[in-house]
A and B are shown apart, each in its own frame.
Chain A
Amino acid sequence: AQSVSQHNHHVILSEAASLELGCNYSYGGTVNLFWYVQYPGQHLQLLLKYFSGDPLVKGIKGFEAEFIKSKFSFNLRKPSVQWSDTAEYFCAVSVFSGGGADGLTFGKGTHLIIQP
């Protein structure tokens, strides 16, 4: 079974700082990779996704992620964070089992706090 590991459970940054959140997964086959964001009291929103092709994917709100297959990693980055980026960030993976895509396996999440 696949698993997802997020290295940082809590991250505190100042506005304008650069952000990188680590994510590693374990699965040897074809995977789809996602980053979701959950603002306080709200539901999950998709930030970006990787299915195939260019390993550097750009998402909403200035976020991007790079898929490095050899490292089984899909790290999330943003050059300059804003106070409004304070949220919980989840990395997720789904596998393709032939009949269609399976449910998502999520990491434990990273709680990001941006200080003004």
Chain B
Amino acid sequence: DARVTQTPRHKVTEMGQEVTMRCQPILGHNTVFWYRQTMMQGLELLAYFRNRAPLDDSGMPKDRFSAEMPDATLATLKIQPSEPRDSAVYFCASGSGQGVFNEQFFGPGTRLTVL
């Protein structure tokens, strides 16, 4: 049963620290998405990649957030320095991105708390 995996599942850190979240997409999927879920804003698209190339990161605060795909099996989202307002659940999703079909499969999320 293919699944998107994310690590860590929970992260508590102090303001100013660097946070790195990792995602392993489903094997064979060439599109990877990062979303953030907060009570106030709901679910927001931060960035996404296709064939490891960044396509859109307009939803991501550029000054402190960065997203990369070092290889086809790993996507990372970094926050440096972290702030309390970054506290949220961060979801990774992957899909095949074929034509008009865009079914995305979500990982379990990383719950981030910045103190």
Contacts and interface: CB of A to CB of B under 8 A. Distances in A.
Interface of A: 30, 32, 34, 36, 42-46, 49, 51-52, 90, 92, 94, 96, 99-109
Interface string B11-55: 000000000000000000001010100000011110010100001
B31 A49 contact: no
Contacts of B43: 90, 92, 104, 106, 109
Nearest to B100: A96
Contact of A104 (B97, B99, B104): B104
6 contacts: A32-B100, A32-B102, A90-B43, A101-B31, A101-B99, A104-B93
Contacts of B45: 103-105
A100 B50 contact: yes
A51 B98 CA distance: 12
Interface residues of B, number: 28
Interface residues of B: mostly helix, strand, loop or mixed? strand
Interface of B: 31, 33, 35, 42-45, 48, 50, 55-56, 59, 91, 93, 95, 97-109
Nearest to B102: A101
A94 B98 CA distance: 13
A100 B97 contact: yes
A103 B103 contact: no
Given A43-B109, A101-B31, A103-B45, 12 more contacts: A90-B42, A99-B50, A100-B50, A101-B97, A101-B101, A102-B102, A103-B35, A103-B59, A104-B104, A106-B42, A109-B42, A109-B43
A44 B31 CA distance: 17
